[in-house]
Structure 1
Amino acid sequence: MRGRSRGSGSFPPAINTKAWFIAAILAIGFSDSRSAMSIWKSAHGGVFSMAIRANGEFFQPPVQPICAQPTMWLAALSHPIVCLVRKLELLVALLVFVMAACFFIEMSIVKPPSKEVIRGLFVPSLSGPGATGDTIALLGALVMPHNLFLHSALVLSRNTPSSVKGIKDACRFFLFESGIALFVALTINICIVSVSGIICKNSAVVYGVALLACGTSSTITGTYAGQYVMQGFLDINVKQWLRNLMTRSIAIVPSLVVAIIGGSSGAGRLIIMASMILSFELPFALIPLLKFSSSSNKMGENKNSIYIIGFSWILGFIVIGINIYFLSSKLVGWILHNSLPIYANVLICIIVVPLMLLYISAVIYLTFRKDTVKFASRGELQMILSFELPFALIPLLKFSSSSNKMGENKNSIYIIGFSWILGFIVIGINIYFLSSKLVGWILHNSLPIYANVLICIIVVPLMLLYISAVIYLTFRKDTVKFASRGELQMILSFELPFALIPLLKFSSSSNKMGENKNSIYIIGFSWILGFIVIGINIYFLSSKLVGWILHNSLPIYANVLICIIVVPLMLLYISAVIYLTFRKDTVKFASRGELQMILSFELPFALIPLLKFSSSSNKMGENKNSIYIIGFSWILGFIVIGINIYFLSSKLVGWILHNSLPIYANVLICIIVVPLMLLYISAVIYLTFRKDTVKFASRGELQVPETDKSKVANDSDNVEHKDQLV
C-alpha cells in the first residue's frame, strides 16, 4: 500500500509531518551518508587503484572531491526519463549480486574458520567491547527503515489484478521477492562479519569493488524512498533530478567533512553511528506498517494472518528492547566512568534523559494508539454520491432542455417532464432521509440538551444551505444568451476583409504565383466586390453608432465617454483595412531556377544511398543492379557532383574577387563559407566510400517451421501469464 495510506490516512497532520521528517532524515541524513562513505572507501580502494592497506589508511584528503563523483552521477542516471523503475530494479539487483560475488571471493582469499562462522550463526554471543553497538548497527544496515516504505510503494508499479485471487497471488510473489532479497542480504552480512578485520593487500581491490556496489545501490534506493516518503506523508511530488541533487548534496557534504578531518577512523565511526541510528529509527517505520497491514478495516481479507502478526510483533519488541537497553546501559556506563565534573554530568542527564523518555513515549504511542480512521464502505460512498447528484443533474437537464443553447436538438417535452420528475423524486428522498435521520438521532440520543441544541445550530443551517442550493439551481434564470445566426454572420462580415485582402494580394502577385496569378478581370472584379463589402461594413457601423448616440436617453457625458472608446476602435478597424490594402509586398519567393539549383545540390544525399542500396548483393540479392547500370549510374552521379562543386567554387571565387567589400569582410565570409563547402564535400565522400555493415536476414532465416511457431506462441502465452502475476 502507499506510504500515504500508512501516513496521511492514519495519523493527524502534526504526526504526519513529524513522521515524514523522521523518515526523510533516515533516507537522506544517515542512509545516504553511509552510502557516500562506502562509495568513497571503494573509490579509493578499487576505482583509483589505491589498495586498502592493512593499517587502515583508507583516505587521503585530495581524493575526496574525486570520490564524490559517483553519487552525483547517480543523480542523472536515476532520472525517470533515463532509467525507468524496472531498469533501476535490474541495476540494483546487479549491484547486489556483484557485492555478493566480491564478498564470496574475499572469503575464499581470507579463508575464515568455517566452524566458527557456523557456530556464530546459530549460537550468537555478544563478547568484547562494542559488540552490542555493532549488532545494532548491523540490524539497521540490514533492515533499513526507509526501505520498508520503498518496498511497499514499489507494489504500485506492478500490474496487480483487482480480483481476490489476483491479490493473493501478488502477495505471495511479493513475499518470495522480499524473502529472496533478505536472504541474499543475510549471506552478504555473514561474509562481511566473517572477513572483517582480516583484509589484506591481495583482497583490497575486491573489497573496494564490493563497497562501491553497496554504496551505489543504497544511493538509488535512498533517493526513491525519500520521494515516496514525501509523496505519502505530505502528498508532495518533487522532480526526480531535483530530489537527487538535494539529497546527494546533503549526504555528501557532512560525509566529506568527516572524511577529511577524521580520516579513516572518523569515516568508520560515521558508518557505524549511521547504521545504529537507522536501527533506533526502525520502530517508527515498522510499527505503522504492522498496524496497517494487520488492520481488517484497511486491508479487509488481505490482512496479515494471526501467526505473521504475532511473530512480527515479537521481533519488533525484541528490536525495541535491544535499542532501549543499549541506550540506557551506554548512558549509565558513560556517566559513571567519565572524567567530567558532576555539574556537567547533571546537565547531560537533564538533556539526554528527556530525549530517551520522548523516544520511549513515541514508540508506546505508536504501539497502543487506537486506529480512529475508518474507510468509507461502498454503501456510504453511494449515499454521498446520491446527495451530490442534484448538483450535476439539474445543470445537465437545464442545458439539454434549453432552446437557446441546443436549438432544434433540445430534449422533447416528454423527456424533459420525465427527467424532472425523477430528479425531484431523488432530491425529495435525500432531503427526507437527512431530516428523518437528524430528528431521530436528536430524539433518541443520550446527550444533554445543550449538546443537541449546539448540534442543531451547526447541522440545520447546512441542511438549509443544501436545500437552498438545489432550489437556486432549479429556478435560476438562464441569463447567458448565445449569439443568433444573424449576429454571427454580421461578425463574420466585419472580419471578412482581414481574410479577403491578403488572399486577393497573394493570388494576384506575379512574384508569388508567377504565370498562375489571377487575370486582370478577376483582380478588378474581386477588388470592387471587396471594397463594396468594406464600405457597407463601415457605413453600417458609423450609421448605427451615430443613430444610437442621437436617440438614446443617456446623459451627455455618458455619450461622450462612449464616443471616446468606440470611435478610436472604428478608426483602428479602418486603418487596419487600409494597411492591408496598400502594404507593399517585400517578401520574394525563390524562382523555379533557384529551387532547381538547391535540389541539384541536395541530389547526392539521395542518389548515393539509393545507388549503394540497389547495387548491394547483401540487401537486394539477385535483384541488384547489373554491372552496366551500376557503372553508368556512378559516372552520371560523379558528373553531377563535380558540376555542383565546380559551380560553388567558381561562384565563390568570382564573387570574392569582384565585389566591393573591404578585405576583412571577404576574409570573414571565406572563414564561414569555405568550411561549409568542405563539410559538403566530406559528406559526399563519406556516403560514397562508407562500408556497409548492416546485413539483412535471408529468406531461410526469416522462415520459421510450424512446430517452432506453435512453441513460440505457447512460450509467449506463458510469459504473458507470468507477467500478469509477477
Structure 2
Amino acid sequence: MQFKLPTTATAPFCPSEVQGTVAVTQGAPFWKKILQFAGPGLLISIGYMDPGNWATDIEAGSRYGYSLLFVVMLSSLAAMALQCLSMRLGIATGRDLAELSRLRYSPGVARFQWLLAELSIVACDLAEVLGGALAFHLLFKCSLTTGVLLTAFDTLIVLGLKGKNFRDLEAIMLGLIATIGVGYIIELALVKPHWPSVAQGLIPSWQALSSREPMYLAIGILGATVMPHNLYLHSSIVQTRAVKRDSASIRSAIGMSRIDTIVSLIIALLINMAILILAAAAFHATGHNQVTEIEDAYKLLAPIVGTGFAAVLFAITLLASGQSSTFTGTVAGQVIMEGFLKLKIPCWQRRFITRALALIPALIGVQMMGNGAVGKLLVASQVVLSLQLPFALYPLIRMTNDRSLMGEFANRLPTRLLAWSLFVVISAANLWLVVQTVGLVD
C-alpha cells in the first residue's frame, strides 16, 4: 500500500512532506524491492540529459567527431560514484546534504553554500529556458524571444501537479525519458554511424585534449553531466522510501538505491552518447564541422539524413528534455531552500522565482546576439555548473567519510581515495578553465 500525501501538501516537490511516503514491503522478493526503490535515480538522471548536454555534445561531435566520446563516458562514471555518495548520505543519516551543511557549518559558510547552490539551479534553468525556447521556435516557427517567454508558462505545469504523490512524478519522468530515448534510437537508425569509430572514441586519449578548445568543451561536458544541485537533490528524495532505521534495513535500502542510481545514470549516459554520436555521424563525417548551434543541427539534419522526420523528432526530444528538467529543478530548489534556510514556500512560487531569474539573461542574450546566443549561453551555463561542483563535493565527501555521522556506512578506504581523486581532478580542471578564461595562459 502506498501512503498518500496530506491534503495540505502544495505539490509532490516539498521534501519534508514526502519523506517516507512510498512504502517498502519487508521480505519482498528481490525484483519487487527493486521496483519499490526505483524512481529517485530517474529524477536525478533527468538532470544529466538537459538542453545543456545537447549544446556541449553537439558541438563536441561536430568539431571533433567521436574523439571526445570518452569524456562523456568518464564524466558519467564519475557522476555514478558521486550520486551514490549522495544517496548513501541521505539514507544513512535521514537528512539531506543541505540540511547537514546548515547544522555542521557556521551560518556564514552555510549561507555561502546556499548562494552557490542557487546559482547552479539558475544556470541549469537558463539551459532549460534556452532549450525550450529553441524547441518552440523550431516546431512552431515563432521568434526565439517569443519562445523564451513561452517557457515562463511551465509554472502552470507545476500547479497542475498539485496534490499528486511522488510516485506519479516519477512515472511522468519515466515517460519523458522514454520519449527522449526512443527518439534517439530512431535518429541513430536514420543516421547510421560508423560503429567501429564509435568504439574507438570510447578509448581515453589525452591527445584529444591537448588544446584549449577541446578542453573547454570537455569541462563543459563535465559541468553538464555532474550537476551540483543534483547532489543536494538525491540525498533528499531517497528519503521518500519508508525504511526502518535498523542496520539491516538501511543496508538493504542503500543496495537497492545503488542499483536504481546506476541503472538510471546508464540510461542518461547512453542518451548523452547518442547525442554526440548523432552530431559526429551527421555533421563531422559529412564535413560540417562547425555546427555549434542546436538550431543549425536541426536545419542540417533533414538534408543530410534525407527526411524531415529526423529534424521534427530532434525538436520534440529537445522539448521533452527541457520540460523534464523543469521538474527536477523545482524539486532541487525546494530541497536547497528548506535545507539551508528552513524556509518553505509554495512550489509554484519557487518555480516562478527561478524561472524569472533565468529569463533575464536569456532575453538579454537573445536580444543582443540573436539566435546565435543560444549555443554560447548553453555552453557557458554548463561551465558555470562545473565551477560550482567543488563547493558541493567537499562537504559531501567530508560527511560521508565521517564515521561519527555515518556510523558503519561511512566510506571505506577505496571509496575515500576515489572520491578525493575526483575532487582534485574536477577542481584542477576548473582552475585551468578560470586561468584560460581570464587570458593568463595562451
* Equivalent residue, structure 2, for 1:240: 347
Taking a change above 3 Å as real, the CA distance of residues 210 and 168 of structure 1, as seen in their structure-2 partners, is: same
What amino acid is aligned across from residue 109 of structure 1 in structure 2?
Answer: L
Q: 2:332 aligns with which of 225, 235, 238?
A: 225
- For the pair 1:112 / 2:193, whether they are aligned, the reply is yes
Contact 2:155 2:348 in 1 (8 A): no
Q: Which moved more, 1:208-217 or 1:253-262?
A: 253-262
- Following superposition of structure 1 onto structure 2, how do residues 306-321 of structure 1 map, counting pairs within 5 Å? 306-321=413-428
- For the pair 1:264 / 2:357, whether they are aligned, the reply is no
Q: How many residues in Structure 1 have an aligned counterpart in Structure 2? A: 322
- For the pair 1:288 / 2:379, whether they are aligned, the reply is no
Contact 1:74 1:219 in 2 (8 A): no
Distance in 1 separating the partners of 2:430 and 2:378: 18
* Equivalent residue, structure 1, for 2:265: 182
Q: Which runs of 4+ in 1 moved over 4 A?
A: none
Q: Secondary structure at the match of 2:242?
A: coil
- For the pair 1:209 / 2:303, whether they are aligned, the reply is no
What amino acid is aligned across from residue 373 of structure 2 in structure 1?
Answer: G
* Equivalent residue, structure 2, for 1:160: 243
State the Cα distance separating 1:129 from its structure 2 match.
Answer: 5.7
Taking a change above 3 Å as real, the CA distance of residues 26 and 290 of structure 1, as seen in their structure-2 partners, is: same
Q: Deviations over 1:239-277 (max 9, x none)?
A: 212111211222223213323432222111000000011
What amino acid is aligned across from residue 35 of structure 1 in structure 2?
Answer: E
Q: Secondary structure at the match of 2:202?
A: helix
State the Cα distance separating 1:292 from its structure 2 match.
Answer: 0.9
Q: 2:112 aligns with which of 18, 23, 46?
A: 18
Q: 1:142 aligns with which of 207, 215, 225?
A: 225
State the Cα distance separating 1:62 from its structure 2 match.
Answer: 5.9
- For the pair 1:36 / 2:129, whether they are aligned, the reply is yes
Contact 1:78 1:240 in 2 (8 A): no
Q: Secondary structure at the match of 1:88?
A: helix
Contact 1:107 1:195 in 2 (8 A): yes
Distance in 1 separating the partners of 2:440 and 2:105: 37
* Larger-gyration structure (1/2): 1
User: TM-score by structure 1 length?
Assistant: 0.43
Distance in 1 separating the partners of 2:342 and 2:431: 33
Distance in 2 separating the partners of 1:13 and 1:66: 37
Distance in 1 separating the partners of 2:123 and 2:334: 16
* Equivalent residue, structure 2, for 1:303: 410
- Following superposition of structure 1 onto structure 2, how do residues 288-367 of structure 1 map, counting pairs within 5 Å? 288-332=395-439
- For the pair 1:151 / 2:244, whether they are aligned, the reply is no
Distance in 2 separating the partners of 1:13 and 1:213: 39
- Following superposition of structure 1 onto structure 2, how do residues 496-535 of structure 1 map, counting pairs within 5 Å? none
* Equivalent residue, structure 1, for 2:253: 170
The gaps in structure 1 that reach 5 residues or longer are 51-58, 337-726
Contact 1:45 1:204 in 2 (8 A): no
* Equivalent residue, structure 1, for 2:275: 192
Contact 2:232 2:336 in 1 (8 A): yes
Contact 1:4 1:235 in 2 (8 A): no
Q: Secondary structure at the match of 1:196?
A: helix
Q: Secondary structure at the match of 2:102?
A: coil
What amino acid is aligned across from residue 433 of structure 2 in structure 1?
Answer: F
Q: Deviations over 1:606-655 (max 9, x none)?
A: xxxxxxxxxxxxxxxxxxxxxxxxxxxxxxxxxxxxxxxxxxxxxxxxxx
Distance in 2 separating the partners of 1:225 and 1:254: 21
Q: Secondary structure at the match of 2:439?
A: helix
RMSD, aligned CA: 2.1
Distance in 1 separating the partners of 2:97 and 2:258: 18
- Following superposition of structure 1 onto structure 2, how do residues 43-54 of structure 1 map, counting pairs within 5 Å? 43-46=136-139, 48=140, 50=141
What amino acid is aligned across from residue 9 of structure 1 in structure 2?
Answer: L
Distance in 2 separating the partners of 1:106 and 1:299: 45
Distance in 2 separating the partners of 1:250 and 1:329: 28
What amino acid is aligned across from residue 104 of structure 1 in structure 2?
Answer: I
Q: 1:101 aligns with which of 177, 182, 185?
A: 182
- For the pair 1:84 / 2:175, whether they are aligned, the reply is no
* Equivalent residue, structure 1, for 2:97: 3
What amino acid is aligned across from residue 264 of structure 1 in structure 2?
Answer: N
State the Cα distance separating 1:119 from its structure 2 match.
Answer: 1.1
* Equivalent residue, structure 1, for 2:37: none
User: TM-score by structure 2 length?
Assistant: 0.69
Q: Deviations over 1:426-474 (max 9, x none)?
A: xxxxxxxxxxxxxxxxxxxxxxxxxxxxxxxxxxxxxxxxxxxxxxxxx
What amino acid is aligned across from residue 211 of structure 1 in structure 2?
Answer: L
Q: Deviations over 1:649-698 (max 9, x none)?
A: xxxxxxxxxxxxxxxxxxxxxxxxxxxxxxxxxxxxxxxxxxxxxxxxxx
State the Cα distance separating 1:78 from its structure 2 match.
Answer: 4.3
State the Cα distance separating 1:110 from its structure 2 match.
Answer: 2.1
Taking a change above 3 Å as real, the CA distance of residues 321 and 247 of structure 1, as seen in their structure-2 partners, is: same
State the Cα distance separating 1:134 from its structure 2 match.
Answer: 1.3
Q: Secondary structure at the match of 2:344?
A: coil
Q: Secondary structure at the match of 2:112?
A: helix
Contact 1:78 1:220 in 2 (8 A): no
Q: Deviations over 1:677-720 (max 9, x none)?
A: xxxxxxxxxxxxxxxxxxxxxxxxxxxxxxxxxxxxxxxxxxxx
Q: Secondary structure at the match of 2:422?
A: helix
